[in-house]
Chains A and B, each alone.
Chain A
Amino acid sequence: MNWRFYKLALSMTHIEAIGRQLALKGYSADYVEVRLEESQTSRITYRGRELESIGKTSAIGGNVRALVRGGWGFVSFNNLDKLPGTVELAVKQAQFVGNEESQLAPVEPVVDTVSSQEKNPVAMPLAEKKQLLDEYNDIIWHTPRLQTSIISYDDSHKKVIFLNSSGSYIEQERSGITLRLTAVATEGSEVQQVGLNLGSSGDFSQIKGLHHQIEQMAQRAVELLSAPQVKGGEYTVVLDPVLAGVFVHEAFGHLSEADFVYENDRLREIMVLGKKFGGAELNIVDTATIPGLRGSYKYDDEGVPATKTYLIWEGKLVGRLHSRETAAKMKEKPTGNARAINYRYPPIVRMTNTYIEPRAASFDDIISDIKEGVYAKNWYGGMTSMEMFTFSAGEACMIRNGKLAETLRPVVLTGNVFTTLNNIDAIGNDLEMNQGGGCGKGVQSPLPVANGSPHIRIHHCLVGGR
């Protein structure tokens, strides 16, 4: 074993000192990688009139992943002093599992340092953050008939060091901010709520100046108390860019993650490249290469450079998201989509920033010929089982004779991937990306992603209701 471990050098952080001295060659494994992570977060929550909790965290940890004859071993830890034994344990686990040939798509080794584009939001004075949140909370509380408010603000800054047995050594810094606000209105035992979810890749100014939006949000919560619930059934539905972003993430994004497909022969037949899923106007993209978005990065958690991947081009399946292993097994190119929420988990295939490309239609074009339909906006969330999926709107109203009509209670919509994308018959010209979401897959949640779309129209969409 060629483990070497030196005392920390004073000018470097703890993980840099360890990472730079670590050698991963010479183990009886087909592949070994180490990720070391240092992170800080701060969190402020309000429930009701007053600040409820405020806290700061700092964490340090790492993991080792080893591949032997197709089997994986993985060890995660907070205690970095035990690293030598840890590498051996991961290799031993992988040896126990493996009984076939290891397959990893080839990637050029990279040595690089990527610093964060933004200032570290955790280092900003808490007083400054609190002042902005106080202003927002005041607005909610000045709304007549409003019962209470819930606000949660989170920021984070982390530095991750990645190295592997092929000679890659990458240091990357990332920051993130999320802000979620909810206004709750009550009347008797009726309770209604409206939320606003925002995020940025560390730029605090992006969550400033929302006073007007928050005032509207609080008023809408009160309006919902007297709004009717939609009658359940099939409708022509128009989705705003925020909800359409959730729709594309759930309806198609997850199904294009190759780890669902690569070892399942039936799914490989269904998800064959070239298969038609939508109309000729439909293009769906996933890319981590757009600066400033929460799903962006230069290298993924396997050290693979980020790419721009068309999932759907002119309605046809043209690509999917890969880790090095899924790419090799499907004989396709790696796309740099292997991500882990933190050092406690191995990277798995994930989306980054996913969107529907804009087309020519204006909002008026989209709604003008709808006799009776539903306009659904904003999001509560979405889920998928791949074939069927749901996505829920935070706000909705009826469309009658080409015009927006009465406000409805929030609606949940459902679709089937093999029909719903084909039912998109209008795509707008107003692409917007939403940064407020987080994606969950298995136990790894929430992962920073962005979703986007222009307004879209779907016919024969099933809406739950009374």
Chain B
Amino acid sequence: MENILTQAKRVAEEAEVFTVSSEETPVQFEANRLKHIQSKQSTSVALRIIRQGKIGYATTTELGDTQNLVNNAVETAQFGMTARFELPSLTAYPKVDIFDPDVESIPVEEMVKLGEELITTVRGHTSDIVCEAGVTKSLISVHIINSRGGQANYKESIFSLGIEGHLIRDTDMLFVGESQSSCHPLLEPKAVAEVVLQQLELAKNRASIPTKSVPVIFTPMGVACALIPPLMTAFNGKIVLEGASPIGSKLGQPVFDEKLWLWDDSTLAYRPESRPCDDEGIPSQRTPLIEKGTVANFLYDLQTAALAHTRSTGNGSRNRGGLPAPAPSAFIIAPGNTTFDEMVNDIKEGLVVEYLMGATQGNILGGDFSGNVLLGYKVESGKIVGRVKDTMVSGNVYQLLKQITAIGSDVKWVGSFLNTPSIYCPSLSVASK
């Protein structure tokens, strides 16, 4: 790495070398039985330079291929954007615990047992369900150095458990599933299976809902499918800078219901999205985005922050191996004090949305979403009566979150990216067959 930096400094004013290596061991079950064991090793090196004031960028998987890497970065710098930022010099980072040596030492045999227990528990409830399951351990190490003396180094362990069940009766198909991840080993498959069992119970009966507007509860998974993708875009500093975010000019203004609090946090202990610094070496932080319904901040990397005359929030992310760009680390929505059952009891006729298919395929920038309720339940007179099918819901995130009936006390991690309670809104438009 030092060698790449030295060579790059000969042809550029500034340079930064970012290396990530990972080792991943997925154990996979198909059709209720063990099918694959895999082992994946990967390394990649990214070089960012500032040459004649402009940004150049190249990546490679070959550590020995320094000359080609530097040449590619120089070639792209001819056309690159003018650099407005300074790379960070040596910085102190917050202590963020994301490595547990126990993950590495878990034997494959034990991972197989965890997967088997997941499947056995779900099939113990519904014997004719066909399950796929995955148990994965990963170790990641990240190393950043730059020409201003900045450097960062960290190791992370990730363990994940997931199951997807597929139940077919005649031509009726039901999908259920749950996955959890942590920097610690997850040794309680029953906790994951329990979520699936609850879905199976609620989906046992069928119900239908007419075409009209009804009150709706988005479960944590439902929040993740329908409401979060537009917010991720809207709080991205780059979209704000372009004038394409509907809340870009609303900093400090009440845009959402005052029950809503949202922040981005990359400092939570033992969470897979946490880290001491972002992909540019800027310290991690907790950034409030919505405080009491008011727009509090947007997310920035170095270049975008400089263009917007503000500071990086430590959200520089190298998605797909590209140049750093602002991206959320983990979104956290504050819990309210209404239980899920209280919300259901409050509804005369309405819908619980657990999984929405196709919701991210519309005008996300404008906050519109529309999707098929792949997993969702009808509520009648305060009770969940069964699963709805062939049903579409449509709405706009900004209209929905302006007036929230209640926020749940039932916070939960959805994947590794979102921690949220259920959200209960007064009206959503439904179209059904």
A55-B431 in contact given A61-B61, A93-B38, A270-B168 (Cβ < 8 Å): no
Tell whether, in the assembled complex, residue A392 and residue B362 are in contact, meaning their CB atoms are under 8 Å apart.
yes
Instruction: Indicate if B432 sits at the interface (CB-CB under 8 A).
Output: yes
Taking a contact as CB atoms under 8 Å apart, the answer to whether B59 and A55 are in contact is yes
Give bound CA distance, A192 to B366, whole Å. Answer: 6
Asked if A388 and B390 sit within 8 Å, CB to CB, the answer is: yes
- Which B371-415 residues sit within 8 Å CB-CB of chain A? 371-372, 374, 389-390, 392-394, 398
A312-348, CB under 8 A of B: which get 1 and which 0? 0000000000000000000000000000000010100
Contact between A388 and B76, CB atoms less than 8 A apart: no
Chain B residues positioned under 8 Å from A94 (CB to CB) = 37
Task: Given A47-B238, A54-B79, decide whether A74 and B394 contact each other with a Cβ distance below 8 A.
Answer: no
Asked whether, in the complex, the Cβ of B76 is within 8 Å of the Cβ of A463, the reply is no
| Residue A305 CB within 8 A of the other chain | no
Complex alpha-carbon distance, A94 and B175, angstroms:
29
Q: Quick check: A76 and B394 within 8 Å, CB to CB? A: no
In the complex, the answer to whether B431 meets A462 with C-beta atoms within 8 Å is yes
B171 at the A interface (CB under 8 A): yes
A232 x B431 contact (CB < 8 A):
yes
A55 touches B363 (CB 8 A): no
Given A58-B65, A78-B43, A462-B432, verify A147-B247 contact (CB < 8 Å): no
Question: Does A148 lie at the interface of the complex (its beta carbon under 8 Å from any beta carbon of B)?
Answer: yes
Q: Digitize A357-397: 1 where CB-to-B-CB distance is under 8 Å, 0 elsewhere.
A: 00000000000000000000000111111111111100000
Identify the stretch in B27-35, B89-97, B178-186, B193-201 within 8 Å (CB) of chain A at 4 or more residues: B27-35
Residues of B within 8 A of A189 (CB): 246-247, 250, 398
Task: Say yes or no for B101: interface residue by CB 8 A criterion.
Answer: no
- Contacts A96-B108, A263-B30, A392-B358 given; does A54 touch B431 at CB 8 Å: no
Once the chains bind, are A54 and B57 in contact (CB under 8 Å)?
yes
User: In the assembly, what is the distance between CA of A233 and CA of B234, in Å?
Assistant: 29
Closest to A414 in B: B372
Interface residues on B, range: 35 or more
Set A54, A191, A460: member contacting B363, Cβ < 8 A: A191
> In the assembled complex, which residues on chain B have CB atoms less than 8 Å from the CB atom of A389?
357, 372
Mark contacts of B40-79 with chain A using CB atoms, 8 A cut-off: 1 yes-contact digit, 0 otherwise.
1111100000000001111111100100110011011011
- Which one, B35, B37, B108, B211, contacts A233 given CB within 8 A? B211
Residue of B nearest to A89 (CB): B39
Instruction: Establish whether residues A386 and B173, one from each chain, have CB atoms under 8 Å apart when the complex forms.
Output: yes
Partner of B357, one of A71, A126, A270, A388: A388
Tell yes or no: B265 within 8 A of A by CB. no
Decide: B37 and A93 in contact? CB cutoff 8 A.
yes
Cβ-based interface call for B10 (8 A): no
List chain B residues, Cβ under 8 A from A169.
none
B429 within 8 Å of A (CB atoms): yes
Q: List the B side residues contacting A79 at CB < 8 Å.
A: 41, 43
Q: Are B390 and A416 in contact (CB under 8 A)?
A: yes
Question: Which of A44, A127, A381 makes the CB contact (< 8 A) with B361?
Answer: A381
A409 to chain B, nearest CB (A): 7
> A77-B42, A382-B358 in contact; A58/B60 too (CB < 8 A)?
yes
- B171-A418 in contact (CB<8A): yes
Q: A51-B79, A55-B57, A462-B431 are contacts. A266–B36 as well, Cβ < 8 Å?
A: no
Partner of B42, one of A73, A234, A344: A344
Q: Does chain A have a CB within 8 A of B309? A: no
Given A73-B38, A465-B394; A412-B242 close (CB under 8 Å): no
Q: Is the CB of B42 within 8 A of A56?
A: no
Taking a contact as CB atoms closer than 8 A, the residue among A47, A75, A387 that contacts B39 in the complex is A75
3 cross-chain pairs, A with B, having the tightest CB-CB distances, nearest first: A390-B358, A232-B431, A263-B31
Question: Interface residues, chain A, CB within 8 Å of chain B?
Answer: 43-45, 47-48, 50-61, 71-79, 89-90, 93-94, 96-97, 126-127, 130, 147-148, 184, 186, 189-193, 229, 232-234, 263-264, 266-267, 270, 344, 346, 380-392, 409-412, 414, 416, 418, 460, 462-466
Q: 15 extra interchain contacts, Cβ-Cβ under 8 A, other than A59-B62, A97-B34? A: A47-B238, A53-B325, A56-B59, A57-B59, A59-B61, A72-B35, A75-B40, A77-B40, A93-B38, A126-B76, A193-B365, A266-B169, A346-B36, A462-B390, A464-B394
